[in-house]
Amino acid sequence: MQNRADDLPRRRRLPAVLAGLGFLAILAIALVGAAGRIRSVPSEPAAAVAWAEPAQAPAAGSGPAAAPARFTTVAVRLQKNQTLNQALFSLRLAAAEVNEVVEALRGHFPFRKARPGDQLRLERTEDGDLHRFTYRQGAADEWVVERLPDGTFEGAKRPVELTTEVARVAVTIESSLYESLGRADEDPGLAVLAADVLAWDVDFYQDVRTGDRMRILVEKIYADGKLLRYGEVLAAEYDGAATGRKRLFRYTDASGHTSYFDDEGNSARRGFLKSPLKYAHVTSSFGMRRHPVLGYTRAHEGVDYGAPTGTPIWAVGDGSVREAGWKGACGKAVIVKHRNGLDTIYCHLSRIAVSAGKSVSQKQIIGYVGSTGRSTGPHLHYAVKRGGRYVNPMQLKIPRDAPLPASALVDFREKIAPLREQLAGPVALN
């Protein structure tokens, strides 16, 4: 394992380890909770859903007969085309109780925003009285209806405290960015976020080499102390054998525009992305091991990217769709005409997501990898033409967007200084 261990001291690694343990603890509680419910409603085990909330688990240590406040819990998920009322009936609420719950939610809960998969949970006292109803949507939205001492019901949206933390993630790549992040106890989805930021400089399908290093400063958003999702990538650095060192910082200028810039204030953006493939969730290192990217050859007139069927293909730059459809040996194909005089050609798609004549913007998904036409396996054949002649896509020199104006540089340097320091990590190790 060659991830954060080599450039992070123990002190800095600890929070990540704790976060990992915390996640396991939540998982354990969810499993215990689910098991408890299955026991309490043996007739409906399929309806039980995991509900990660320690406070609601049966109190440990109290004997089954001794605890006066024991509740029976049933939980279901809202089904497709099911109304809230129907879901409430499926929880075996009486018609009068359904009315009470719905009335208590009125004014608090946006009924039209109920979605399949939302979690409903009902607690009854040992006497069978309705005690509490909880409706949860995602990790951060929860509504609760509770019985008041006078027997009436009160509904409210439970305030969920969201906190944001900036985390530093550092990995050394062994086989793929995904696997490296997984080993660092991060959600591999972080690879997609980082690849998106670096998309003008690094082709994550062909530039990645074993031993390359990546550092990311990313916001982690917690709901009630549990990791909800990643926020913005504040800084990203890729130091690779094929790419050299690329380092970018997120910056919002005085007029409110946000983009990524290098240390000198040069824009990360260019007219073309480095890769025609959007970095996506690929479980194996498919592209690296079995289907290496073949270099450009004049006879072949393009570059082949081995990638699983369904891998998203994005327009490398703004333009308009010249052709979209079947094109002989090229199979299902898209040709995009760009303002810089270049045409980009994408072949063998399994599915086309644009139509001829429409304009497309950079990073817009235009189709998905397939094996249509003259092709022996799923791959993208990518070619570029200038004035009707094929040119090598790997040797294109596409200029960057305008740098920050001199007037913004003082503010820019001030803002990125702490990010640069945090990204670099502990000085003692460098």
Q: Minimal distance in Å, beta carbon 300 to Zn ion?
A: 6
Stretch that binds Zn ion, among 130-138, 145-153, 284-292, 303-311 (CB under 5 A): 303-311
Q: Minimal distance in Å, beta carbon 301 to Zn ion?
A: 8
Stretch that binds Zn ion, among 30-38, 233-241, 304-312, 402-410 (CB under 5 A): 304-312
Give the CB-nearest residue to Zn ion.
Answer: 381
Per CB under 5 A, does 304 bind Zn ion?
Answer: yes
Q: Minimal distance in Å, beta carbon 315 to Zn ion?
A: 19
181 versus 380: smaller Cβ distance to Zn ion:
380
Per CB under 5 A, does 142 bind Zn ion?
Answer: no
**How many C-beta neighbours within 10 Å does residue 370 have?**
24
196 versus 301: smaller Cβ distance to Zn ion:
301
**How far is residue 194 from each of residues 25, 249, 302, measured CA to CA in Å?**
28, 12, 27
Stretch that binds Zn ion, among 27-35, 104-112, 277-285, 302-310 (CB under 5 A): 302-310
Q: Minimal distance in Å, beta carbon 408 to Zn ion?
A: 44
262 versus 301: smaller Cβ distance to Zn ion:
301
**How many C-beta neighbours within 10 Å does residue 32 have?**
16
Size of residue set near Zn ion by CB under 5 A: 2
147 versus 381: smaller Cβ distance to Zn ion:
381
> Whole-angstrom Cα distance, residue 358 to residue 377?
29
> Whole-angstrom Cα distance, residue 409 to residue 394?
32
131 versus 381: smaller Cβ distance to Zn ion:
381
Per CB under 5 A, does 348 bind Zn ion?
Answer: no
364 versus 375: smaller Cβ distance to Zn ion:
375
71 versus 390: smaller Cβ distance to Zn ion:
390
Q: Minimal distance in Å, beta carbon 210 to Zn ion?
A: 26
Q: Minimal distance in Å, beta carbon 309 to Zn ion?
A: 16
329 versus 417: smaller Cβ distance to Zn ion:
329
> Whole-angstrom Cα distance, residue 367 to residue 350?
8
Q: Minimal distance in Å, beta carbon 381 to Zn ion?
A: 3
Q: Minimal distance in Å, beta carbon 313 to Zn ion?
A: 14
Of the candidates 316, 312, 336, which has an alpha carbon nearest to the alpha carbon of residue 324?
Answer: 336
Q: Give the x/- contact pattern for Zn ion in 371-390, rule: CB under 5 A.
A: ----------x---------
Please, what is the Cα angle at 64 between 62 and 66, to 5 degrees? Answer: 65
Q: Minimal distance in Å, beta carbon 3 to Zn ion?
A: 35
230 versus 296: smaller Cβ distance to Zn ion:
296
**How many C-beta neighbours within 10 Å does residue 119 have?**
17
Residues that bind Zn ion (CB under 5 A): 304, 381
